[in-house]
Amino acid sequence: MAIEVTKVTDQASLREFCELPLRLHPRSHYVPVPERRIRAWYEGTGPQRRYGPVDLYLARDCRGRVVGRTCLHRNSALDARVGRQVQLFGLTEFADARSDPALVVDGADPAKELLDLAEQAGTVSGCDLLLGPVELLPDQSPGVLVSGFDERGFSGGGWSPPYYPTAYERLGFTRRWPGRTWICEGLDDPGRLRPEKAFVVDEQRMQDEELRVHRGSRRSLRRVMPALRHILNASAEQVEQRTEVSAADFAERAAGLSRVLDERLPLYLTRAGEPVAFLLAVPDVSPFLVATRGRPSQRQRLALRAAAWRGDHPDQAALVASGTLPQWQGRGYLTLLARELYRALGEAGYRTLRGYRVPEGDRAAEAPYRGMGGRPLHGTAFYERRLR
């Protein structure tokens, strides 16, 4: 057999799983998924465990060289969302069967073997759709890049090479949920458009509606966390690829972000004292993840956290989440928050803001980036293949 696919069952193969993309992709572009996160999925800890196991697999060529990886899992919340039984695959990486010399000689295709395994798993468990690649869910990852390959990835933004979409489409997959990540540059330029000009807000209406913008300190964010989760989930009801975030999952994500939080950036809006919208931006820790190869030591993690507490942040940030309660959408509330984020980024010395994947055609979600003079960074898509 030219390619052998085996399940990850020990620490040595888990390490190979984590190291594969570091060998496949250029360090200048690829940002690794933190190894601690992958280990948690492997060990069955964290909020995902209530949906079932996450099984990790490696693909080896006939010489024993690791040339591919994937994980397989299910999520009943996504099944309900799309109205199908979905076999998910994620963390999927593979060598290029068309250019890797050894694979060309052997006629081997690690992508085909991994995705055939995913199809078999889905068929056995009664699924009718194969979908990915994700980390665990579509709203946690951008999928596959379909354009912008020359631009580096970022933490939460991902990067993949141009042969990936070609491989998926050659194997009978079609694109689903196209989107784009965004970038805004020159935020510290003294000649940039002033926030008041970039985002026009009716100040009188702010007073009439008792609107107030709050900065999210660690203490205040802990207090309003349930309200922000409610806003996030309520705003997600209109987006098919997003599922409800549980309290445990939200707390886990928030705990990770709090370690690098710049208290000048998270913003939420209250109307007559009640939270109705928020924007969450954090320093982009991509250089840290690249430098530590995704597995920082305890000492390095503590140093990163200490730097955040001192206010010693990089000059690049990432907008990771936003939302407005449905009954208040279309009233310019995110415009108001975007103006204040634009102001805060400039005052704090940030030069660049990158943004997580926005579904194609979602003008409201694109508006903050457009107002800051931003542009699309990467084109992205997920891939699906029907099983029956």
pLDDT in tens, 194-235: 999 999 998 898 999 999 999 988 877 788 888 999 999 998
Distance CA 387, CA 45 (A): 30
Predicted local distance difference test score (pLDDT) of residue 23: 96
Predicted local distance difference test score (pLDDT) of residue 135: 83
| Among candidate residues 132, 149, 127, the one with its CA nearest the CA of residue 79 | 127
List, in sequence order, every residue forming a beta bridge with 60; answer none if it has no partner. 4, 66
| Among candidate residues 128, 133, 120, the one with its CA nearest the CA of residue 167 | 133
Weakly modelled stretches of the chain, pLDDT under 70:
1
Predicted local distance difference test score (pLDDT) of residue 309: 79
Phi, psi of 380 (to 5 degrees): -135, 160
CATH 3.40.630.30 is the classification of domain 184-378: yes
Distance CA 59, CA 5 (A): 4
Q: CB-based contacts of 71: which residues, under 8 Å, 6+ apart? A: 41, 54, 55, 56, 57, 89, 90, 91, 92
Distance CA 5, CA 323 (A): 41
Report pTM.
Answer: 0.93
Q: 322 by DSSP, 3-state: which? A: strand
Predicted local distance difference test score (pLDDT) of residue 7: 98
| Among candidate residues 242, 285, 39, the one with its CA nearest the CA of residue 153 | 285
Predicted local distance difference test score (pLDDT) of residue 222: 80
Q: CB-based contacts of 40: which residues, under 8 Å, 6+ apart? A: 46
Strand residue runs (E) in the chain? 3-7, 55-61, 66-73, 86-94, 129-134, 144-147, 174-184, 211-215, 267-271, 274-283, 316-324, 352-359, 375-386
Predicted local distance difference test score (pLDDT) of residue 245: 84
Residues, the chain: 388
List, in sequence order, every residue forming a beta bridge with 317; answer none if it has no partner. 283, 353
User: What is the CATH topology of the domain spanning 3-180?
Assistant: Aminopeptidase (3.40.630)
Distance CA 154, CA 228 (A): 24
| One-letter amino acid for residue 63 of the chain | R
Predicted local distance difference test score (pLDDT) of residue 50: 82
**pLDDT mean across residues, the chain:** 92
Predicted local distance difference test score (pLDDT) of residue 1: 60
Q: What is the CB neighbour count within 10 angstroms for residue 376?
A: 19
Distance CA 65, CA 21 (A): 13
Domain ranges across the chain: 3-180, 184-378
pLDDT digits (tens, 9 = 90+) for 119-154: 999 999 999 999 999 988 888 788 999 999 999 999
Domains 3-180 and 184-378 share a fold: yes
